Amino acid sequence: MKKSKVKWFVFGILVSFVVVAGFTTAAFPAQTVTIKMAQIFDPAAGAYARQNYEWYQGVIKDFEKVYPNIKVKLEWFKWDEIDVKSMMHYRTGIPHDVLLSSPQYMPKHALVGDFLDLSSFVKKEWTKEKQEDFNWSPVWKKCFPLGIPMGVHTRTVVYRKDMFAAAGIYKTPANVDELIEDAKKLTQDTNGDGIPDIWGLGMYLGASRATIELYFAPYIWHFGGKLWDPVTKKATFASEEGVKAAKFLYDLVYKYKVTPKWAVSGTYDDVILHSFLNGKLAMADGFGSYWIGALENKGWVKGIFPATPQGKTILADVFPIPTRPHAQFTNAWTLSIHKLSKHPAEAFKFLNFLAQPKYLYTYPDAGLPACLTDWKRPVYSTPFYKKWLFAAKHGRAMPPTAHYGELADAVAAAIGDIVVKKSPIESTLKKAQDEYNASYAGE
């Protein structure tokens, strides 16, 4: 065969290949990838959980329109188990993709190695302006580069304005002594059976992280103590200040009789949010910013969530915890990517999509804005949100121990024994502290 014919023959083959390849690409689009999003909201668990679950569904619907070849499937874990499950599944080879995660567990996640470092993704995909919109927050420093915050969570004391007025209380308590006195006035036995129907001060003292974070820690801080020493890396919750904090919680139930014994049962949501919304509590400590939307749905505030410049309180309002430092636990749920993800690039696309201010602004569980640009909006200049901003600025984190889960469990178990079994406070706390330090002191 002549050279010219050979050239034309080869050229023909190449053209045919390109044409066929073009038809093949058109006929067989890119393969569809399914990723999983592990979250904490069970739609059957009540209106608040359903509201958040539906938010995820709405964002997923929008995401799949933009990225039709990426499908997202929701997974559900209990809020106080999701971090532990991620670590367990990493060790046993069970993959996930995007997960909600807790800043207080980041030292443990770093030790276990179950999360991807997001630095390279953020550097590549985020503008300088977007990075600055997020990294102003103290929560960012606790979670990045293993997580990206979805909001700012802090807590206040929520109260019924009408119950305050009926009890002749016309200002919120300025200190812990006034908190107790107001709670006494607000505790009511309306049917005369000897058991209060309305409790003055709701607290949660059950077997979960909420006990150490929202109820024991703020009062050990009030008395000048701390949970854990970052220098010795030992638990210190059985100190004199810790004993005072535990006695304060015990006295609310048995001495002042303003907190129900069922504070130790059920879940944090049931004991605080649902009991307050159902009229069983006149005040509830540890009321999270992630529950603001529930007040709006109840009709007890108006124009507060989503926030508007005209936002006002109607039947319920809040005040910062009246301890000496005004310090409540402050954190946020963060977004992380599991190291065993088979589709990390697609997972980051979804994480990045979720983290848009326009979505976080309407996320019920975000609580307070993660993005600095949102805080500059006039809608967050109302008296209601100024109190939340005060609480956030005075907030504190949990100790940076890799064994935070074990620390939380030790405190919750001790408080449970003290309140339920009436175990001696000092020796019960010391026993729990000694057992923790025997296993984890020095990290």
- Structure confidence by residue, pLDDT tens digits, 284-342: 999 999 999 999 999 999 999 989 999 999 999 999 999 999 999 999 999 999 999 99
Three-state SS at 142 = helix
Backbone angles phi, psi at 380, to 5 degrees: -100, 20
- The pTM assigned to this predicted structure is 0.81
Q: What CATH topology corresponds to 33-149+333-369? A: D-Maltodextrin-Binding Protein; domain 2 (3.40.190)
Of 203, 222, 330, 348, which Cα lies nearest the Cα of 276? Answer: 203
Contacts of 13 (CB under 8 A, 6+ apart): none
| pLDDT for residue 160 | 99
Neighbouring CB atoms inside 10 A of 31's CB total 6
Largest interatomic CA distance in the chain: 112
The answer to whether 33-149+333-369 and 155-330+396-440 have equal CATH topology is: yes
Strands 33-39 and 98-101: parallel
Per residue in 95-147, pLDDT tens? 999 999 999 999 999 999 999 999 999 999 999 999 998 888 778 888 999 99
Report whether pLDDT(1) > 90: no
At 176, which helix (H) or strand (E)? helix 176-186
Give the mean model confidence (pLDDT) for residues 56-85: 97
Please work out, in degrees rounded to the nearest 5, the angle formed at the alpha carbon of residue 290 by the alpha carbons of 300 and 78.
125
At 369, which helix (H) or strand (E)? none
Tokens for 4?
């010219």
155-330+396-440 under CATH 1.10.150.20, yes or no: no
Would you say 182 and 169 are in contact if contact means Cβ atoms under 8 Å apart?
Answer: yes
Report whether pLDDT(271) > 60: yes
Q: What is the rounded distance in angstroms from the CA atom of residue 319 to the CA atom of residue 285?
A: 10
Q: What is the rounded distance in angstroms from the CA atom of residue 108 to the CA atom of residue 90?
A: 13
**Residue 313, amino acid:** T
**Residue 248, amino acid:** F
Domain edges within the chain? 33-149+333-369, 155-330+396-440
